[in-house]
């Protein structure tokens, strides 16, 4: 096993006595340095913190707006210690082990229920269509065995599986542009990209309640409704706030937080609601833009502290498709809002 040490944030301007919504300025160093990693999915299983990122490779694929250069082919899992050191537990799934998948293993997620561990992942099938599959294991570190077919109705990218306190599980998914969500708005796949006009409601992420065995949907997927403060759906032209990709759900007390990437405006934003099925009302920005085009995150509580995992492109000097995972504490304020983070990228320290 390879061990990499997080040279954790050393300059934090948070104040526990005087919390505001002003962005906190924090120097945050890469967590994983032995390979390029992105899209970190963090979970606490059996009291231990595990991280399931995607694995960036320089496959020599030309860059385009559809993300063809993100040509990843396997997944690793890391265990994160109490001192925030990352230990690589090895490869847990390869595209060659997925009967229906051809390429592009993008952002994954993981969950557990009734002693089984589930690993959810998107990939393109032989026709070039993104679908979402699931693999299972008896331990958090796998290896995971993929189901022979993708989950029926689970399309596009970026699965997030949230298990509520009552044991009910939900999957949230979707991403526009290269994630193909816009091609499913009619209910079936179309080969051309169709987007609403700027003043129309934006394309919304999808969600569905999962079956007890966590391998399928109990219902047809439906829209996750994202609203502004006046109760109107966020519009397609509202690029600073509308959904692009990277859904994540966490819960604090009775409030559900739906967070996501705004894509071309590079924010990690969030909305809140009183039900895991929404609707969710936009509240603000969790993480301001970082170095690189994409961002993708997860939020987890570990040993009484909330953390935000995310990625940027510091280690590669800003190369869009060669990214690195980072982590920083996350603060929920007394009014239920989340402290905005400005993760400053300064001189790289990789030793």
Q: Cite the active site residues.
A: 39, 245
**Hey, how many other C-beta atoms are within 10 angstroms of the C-beta on 285?**
22
Round to whole Å and give the CA distance between 261 and 241.
9
* Tokens, residue 208: 């569905």
Residues near 47 by beta carbon (within 8 Å), at least 6 away in sequence: none
Round to whole Å and give the CA distance between 72 and 172.
22
């Amino acid at each position: 096993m390879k061990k990499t040490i997080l040279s954790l944030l050393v300059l934090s301007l948070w104040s526990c006595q005087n919390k505001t919504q002003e962005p906190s300025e924090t120097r945050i160093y890469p967590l994983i340095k032995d390979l390029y990693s992105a899209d970190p999915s963090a979970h606490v299983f059996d009291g231990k913190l595990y991280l399931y990122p995607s694995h960036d490779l320089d496959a020599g694929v030309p860059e385009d707006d559809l993300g063809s250069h993100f040509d990843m082919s396997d997944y690793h899992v890391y265990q994160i210690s109490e001192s925030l050191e990352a230990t690589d537990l090895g490869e847990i799934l390869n595209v060659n082990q997925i009967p229906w998948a051809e390429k592009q293993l993008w952002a994954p997620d993981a969950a557990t229920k009734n002693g089984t561990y589930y690993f959810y992942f998107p990939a393109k099938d032989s026709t070039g269509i993104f679908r979402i599959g699931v693999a299972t294991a008896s331990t958090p570190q796998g290896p995971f065995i993929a189901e022979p077919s993708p989950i029926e109705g689970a399309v596009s990218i970026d699965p997030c599986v949230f298990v509520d306190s009552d044991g009910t599980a939900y999957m949230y998914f979707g991403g526009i542009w290269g994630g193909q969500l816009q091609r499913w708005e009619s209910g079936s796949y179309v080969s051309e990209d169709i987007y609403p006009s700027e003043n129309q409601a934006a394309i919304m992420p999808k969600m569905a309640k999962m079956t007890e065995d966590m391998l399928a949907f109990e219902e047809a997927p439906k829209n996750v409704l994202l609203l502004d403060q006046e109760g109107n759906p966020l519009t397609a032209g509202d690029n600073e706030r509308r959904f692009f990709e990277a859904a994540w759900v966490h819960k604090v007390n009775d409030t559900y937080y739906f967070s996501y990437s705004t894509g071309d405006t590079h924010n990690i934003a969030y909305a809140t609601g009183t039900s895991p099925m929404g609707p969710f009302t936009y509240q603000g920005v969790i993480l301001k833009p970082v170095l690189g085009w994409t961002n993708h995150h997860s939020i987890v509580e570990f040993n009484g502290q909330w953390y935000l995992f995310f990625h940027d492109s510091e280690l590669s000097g800003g190369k869009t498709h060669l990214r690195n995972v980072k982590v920083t504490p996350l603060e929920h304020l007394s009014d239920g809002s989340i402290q905005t983070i400005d993760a400053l990228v300064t001189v790289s320290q990789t030793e």
